[in-house]
Structure 1
Amino acid sequence: MTDAPSLRFVVPAGVDDPRRVSGGNVYDRHLREGLRGRGWDVDVCEAADAAHAASVLREASDGSRVLIDGLVAGWAPAAVEEAAARLRLTVLAHMVTAAFPDATDAAIDAERRALASAHDVIATSPWAAAELGRRGLADPDRTVVAVPGTFPAEPAPPPSDDGEMLCIGVIAPHKGQDTLLDALARLRTADWSCTLVGSSESFPEFAARIARKATALDGRVRLAGVLDDAALAEAYRRSALLIAPSRVESSGMAIADARARGIPVLGADTGGIPDALAGGGGLLVRPGDPAALAGALDAWLTEPALRARLRREALEARRLLPTWRDTVTTVARALEAA
């Protein structure tokens, strides 16, 4: 009888904490459960800081297979370099730190060191893989793309209100909620509402600024915080349009979830968002440009033919979406080959 393949999976502390919902955490959880469902023995180790990450890597047996979340790898590049000499080490790159305009030299160097020492890299979008290669951070021959999957979902019913909009993501500068609220303030009609879903704990000063901007929009913007699965599903069900105004985005988990429901998406033309919207059902605008975003929103609100076309395309695109089973299969094959 063949032994089950084993894996030490090093993830950020709080991966299951409902108050710390992030695309990376969601991806890690689906990967953990999917690999276990395929018969893998997955030892999940949550690292709280660089010292903890280094300890987890040192404890791994020589020659064992280790997958480390890129966020954690960036905390402890020296430990990753040391571990790579004796482990089958793969880095899971959810994002490209060097692509963030506010990334520090230290963070960029840490990312470079961690990725350079890994035996191979798993990137979560074609854009991320290409960007890592373009910047010389990862060898394209050692990089595998495993895009976020979706679970089958019932198509969203026809919305009762075409002006009901949704934006999902941690309240953070790179997610662009300030661009969205500036655009909403420019709209020519008041016949709209928008719900912002996401934690405000990571960037409290930015979140406070978003809260002030939202208050100034006469109650039409709701800050919902973090929602559980049932409440989030209800938010999707009510919404006519998902808005993804990010300045930097590797893929966009919320985009995949909206696509699974046939909900059109208005996204920034940056990072992996264009890839995520391949197949139709979406509009792209310049990132960080409130006027361009307002123009696209005005078009959505005032042009029934545009709404009908985007809904039709979004519903048709559902059948083309990868599933989480597809994602796990890609990652499993990459780990087996490492």
Structure 2
Amino acid sequence: MKAVFAIPGDIETRTGGFIYERALLMALREAGHDVEHLQLPAGFPDPTAAEMAEAVAALAALPADAPLILDGLVYGAIATEGLAQVRAPIVAMIHHPLALETGLPPQRAALLHRREADNLALAAEVVVPSPHTAAILRERYAVPAEKISIALPGFGAPDPLRTPDQPPLILAVGILVPRKGHDMLLDALARLGDLDWQAWIVGARYDPATAEALEAQSVALGLASRVRFTGSLGEAALRDGFRRASVFALATRYEGYGMVFSEALLHGLPIVTCASGAVPDTVPPEAGILVPTDDTEAFAAALRSLLTDDARRSAMAKAATAAGQALPSWADTAAAMAGALSRSLG
């Protein structure tokens, strides 16, 4: 099947959405589908007028006989009147609605919600990475259930190699934006000063103001010698971090799936996180401790439990390993997308 996969900016960007889409593109090609990668301007979801015009022109020029998979950063932000010019059948790839990003001004969130709802009405099919996102689109965006396909992220084989650091390493992976909750993690770590631990916060400085605030917070809490902001890490360096860690901790405020949690399962790591968005669907209860969003005391207590109770940590690590072995493959993800592409053609 011929198709076009339109993605904004650098496809090698190391965030969950880009990792998902790059792997899905490769898996579709490996399954025999002729899928062209169309790079759109990098400014989405906040494009300049010139970037918006460039994206509309590129999409409108596509032929009508091959489906278009359109990345959600573009889909939720592109002008509806521009999207209406697209002749190709559209498959919207929605990781999570843009309006649900933490910290948006209410007016901006309302605008994004209206635009994404209007744009979703133009989609022939909608593909999401989790049952949670499917439910959100049905309930809040009036997308008919029959239009939605769930394509869970795929993963490789579990990594059995463990080289845990001493003191125990607490690993957090997520770009430096308010939604990832690194500020709450730091507040929780400040309550564990009596214990021996170290922490890495791995993620690109996506929002410079948030990054600077987190670094200042770490210093103010007296954590600078124990918490390392690594920036974005390459695949090998990140794998090394997972192998060295004893606990994975991310105080996220919302996830449309949360691929990094499944990565933690592949490495047999017990997880501490928040019961937000799709996280309860992604993290098995026997492999993780989920606390209410923004409950710093509960988050600190969960970390303390895993750092001080070797038996509990070991049992949860064993459960994480079992869950990692049951994760789907990228071939499964590609098959779900291929079904949506076929249906988009009528």
Q: The TM-score by the shorter chain falls in which range?
A: over 0.9
Q: Tell me whether 1:184 sits opposite 2:189 in the alignment.
A: yes
2:209 to 185, 205, 210: 205
AA of the residue aligned to 2:212: A
Structure 2 residue aligned with 1:237:
243
Identity across matched positions, percent: 31
Structure 2 residue aligned with 1:46:
39
Instruction: Show structure 1 runs of 4+ deviating over 6 A.
Output: none
Distance in 1 (CA, whole Å) between partners of 2:295 and 2:53 is: 40
Q: Equivalent residue of 1:135, what SS?
A: helix
Q: Tell me whether 1:82 sits opposite 2:84 in the alignment.
A: yes
Distance in 1 (CA, whole Å) between partners of 2:307 and 2:143 is: 43
1:7-54 deviation line (CA, Å, top 9, x unaligned): 1111011122xxx42111101100111111111111111111322221
2:60 to 38, 58, 61: 58
Provide closer, same or farther for how the CA distance between residues 53 and 175 of structure 1 changes in structure 2, counting only shifts above 3 A: same
Structure 1 residue aligned with 2:323:
317
Q: Tell me whether 1:106 sits opposite 2:111 in the alignment.
A: yes
Contact in 1 for aligned 2:8/2:73 (Cα 8 Å): yes
Provide closer, same or farther for how the CA distance between residues 156 and 264 of structure 1 changes in structure 2, counting only shifts above 3 A: farther
AA of the residue aligned to 1:208: E
1:167-190 deviation line (CA, Å, top 9, x unaligned): 111100001100100110111523
Contact in 2 for aligned 1:156/1:263 (Cα 8 Å): no
Distance in 2 (CA, whole Å) between partners of 1:80 and 1:246 is: 34
Contact in 2 for aligned 1:80/1:114 (Cα 8 Å): no
Provide closer, same or farther for how the CA distance between residues 139 and 158 of structure 1 changes in structure 2, counting only shifts above 3 A: same
Distance in 2 (CA, whole Å) between partners of 1:126 and 1:162 is: 38
Structure 1 residue aligned with 2:46:
none
1:195 to 195, 200, 205: 200
Q: Equivalent residue of 2:76, what SS?
A: helix
Contact in 2 for aligned 1:77/1:113 (Cα 8 Å): no
RMSD over aligned Cα, in angstroms? 1.7
Q: Equivalent residue of 1:240, what SS?
A: strand
Contact in 2 for aligned 1:57/1:79 (Cα 8 Å): no
TM-score by length of 2: 0.90
Distance in 1 (CA, whole Å) between partners of 2:164 and 2:14 is: 26
1:1-338 aligned within 5 A:
5-16=1-12, 20-48=13-41, 49-79=51-81, 81-83=83-85, 86-103=87-104, 104=108, 105-157=110-162, 159-161=164-166, 163-200=168-205, 202-215=206-219, 216-278=222-284, 280-338=286-344
5+ residue gaps in structure 1? none
Distance in 2 (CA, whole Å) between partners of 1:60 and 1:280 is: 47
Contact in 1 for aligned 2:274/2:291 (Cα 8 Å): yes
1:149-203 deviation line (CA, Å, top 9, x unaligned): 1111322426344721111111000011001001101115230111011101x21
Provide closer, same or farther for how the CA distance between residues 171 and 101 of structure 1 changes in structure 2, counting only shifts above 3 A: closer
Contact in 1 for aligned 2:102/2:253 (Cα 8 Å): no
Contact in 1 for aligned 2:56/2:83 (Cα 8 Å): no
Q: Equivalent residue of 1:224, what SS?
A: strand
Distance in 1 (CA, whole Å) between partners of 2:170 and 2:61 is: 47
Distance in 1 (CA, whole Å) between partners of 2:144 and 2:172 is: 34
Distance in 2 (CA, whole Å) between partners of 1:324 and 1:283 is: 27
Deviation at 1:245, TM superposition (A): 1.0
Distance in 2 (CA, whole Å) between partners of 1:326 and 1:224 is: 33
TM-score by length of 1: 0.92
After TM superposition, the structure 1 stretch with the greater mean CA deviation from structure 2, 75-84 or 239-248, is: 75-84
Deviation at 1:280, TM superposition (A): 2.9
Distance in 2 (CA, whole Å) between partners of 1:36 and 1:79 is: 31
AA of the residue aligned to 2:276: T
1:205-249 deviation line (CA, Å, top 9, x unaligned): 111011112233141000000111111111111011111211111
Q: Equivalent residue of 1:43, what SS?
A: strand
Instruction: State how many pairs are aligned.
Output: 329
Distance in 1 (CA, whole Å) between partners of 2:175 and 2:313 is: 27
Distance in 2 (CA, whole Å) between partners of 1:98 and 1:194 is: 31
Distance in 1 (CA, whole Å) between partners of 2:339 and 2:16 is: 22
Provide closer, same or farther for how the CA distance between residues 8 and 83 of structure 1 changes in structure 2, counting only shifts above 3 A: farther
AA of the residue aligned to 1:6: K
